[in-house]
């Protein structure tokens, strides 16, 4: 990251009292984040059933995802039964930044040290297909830090909302969920972070930028195109006055492919 808001460059200050407005720290995002009530990624049992139907229609087996019991076991293994008085923070660095699919009470700019965004997981669903697989964004270990958003879920809702979020992020076990410290202008918090699971069969690691761009330029699935995802993410970061050099260079590479003759593309 080259640019960060001025507040992110200073030492943390004590968090202010709850202002009662989830967007009090970032009012510019008020119209740029989908409410949970309209989110297509709020994975209720009904949404999960629809995804199961789609997977079967694609020829996926019944084991295409972790079963409900496995999902709940992995959630409890990290979070345990959440304390009644303990809020849950969630770090968003990709689609969570515009469609978190959860009810949250506070939103902050946040930086996760020693991690960086990379399109490092192969996917045949969502924004890819069996005929034309796409690439999913993840967090890989590396120098510097990743700036995104931190969402605070009230303690009274944390158990329910984290279960919905878990179905979305841990469906196939491609992430390694962790509780990590993230820096915010209002002070450091410990947040739930979905980082890359390098042991997963769909993990391809960091590919050459041109190869990554070639996949993203053409892949598409039931949730839309890989390219649109990248464009949405870059726009959301720009709206916050941020620039991720990897994403910026990747988008330029995708756009450059438009100018090439079709026969010259991979």
Bridge partners, residue 90, by sequence: 151, 192
Beta strands in the chain, from DSSP E residues, in sequence order: 88-92, 106-123, 134-153, 175-182, 189-196, 220-221, 224-225
* DSSP-derived 3-state class of residue 165: helix
Nearest to 152 by CA among 191, 96, 112: 191
The catalytic residue positions are 169
156-186 burial by CB neighbour count: b if 16+ within 10 A, else e?
Answer: ebbbebbbbbbbbbbbbbbbbbeebebbbbb
Distance CA 30, CA 34 (A): 9
Cβ-proximal residues to 154 (8 Å cutoff; 6+ apart), any chain: 87, 103, 105
Give me 161's structure tokens: 């909302």
Cβ-proximal residues to 59 (8 Å cutoff; 6+ apart), any chain: 130
Distance CA 239, CA 4 (A): 12
For tokens 């409890």, name the residue.
76
């Amino acid at each position: 990251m080259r640019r960060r808001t001025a507040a992110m460059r200073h030492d943390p200050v004590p968090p202010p009292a709850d202002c009662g407005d989830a967007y009090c720290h970032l009012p510019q995002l008020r119209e740029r984040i989908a409410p949970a009530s309209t989110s297509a990624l709020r994975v209720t049992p009904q949404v999960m059933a629809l995804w199961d139907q789609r997977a079967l229609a694609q020829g996926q087996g019944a084991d295409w995802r972790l079963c409900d019991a496995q999902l709940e076991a992995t959630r409890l293994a990290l979070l345990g039964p959440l304390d009644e008085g303990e809020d849950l923070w969630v770090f968003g660095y990709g689609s969570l930044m515009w469609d978190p699919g959860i009810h949250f009470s506070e939103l902050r700019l946040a930086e996760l040290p020693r991690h960086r965004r990379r399109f490092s997981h192969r996917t045949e669903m969502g924004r890819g297909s069996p005929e034309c697989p796409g690439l999913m964004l993840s967090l890989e270990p590396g120098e510097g830090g990743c700036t995104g958003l931190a969402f605070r879920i009230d303690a009274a809702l944390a158990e329910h909302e984290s279960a919905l979020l878990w179905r979305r992020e841990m469906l196939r076990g491609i992430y390694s969920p962790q509780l990590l410290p993230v820096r915010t202008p209002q002070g450091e918090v410990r947040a739930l972070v979905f980082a890359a699971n390098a042991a997963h069969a769909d993990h391809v690691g960091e590919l050459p930028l041109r190869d990554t761009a070639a996949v993203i330029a053409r892949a598409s699935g039931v949730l839309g195109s890989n390219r649109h995802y990248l464009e949405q993410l870059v726009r959301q970061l720009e709206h916050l006055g941020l620039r991720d050099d990897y994403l910026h260079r990747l988008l330029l590479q995708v756009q450059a492919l438009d100018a090439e003759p079709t026969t010259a593309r991979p």
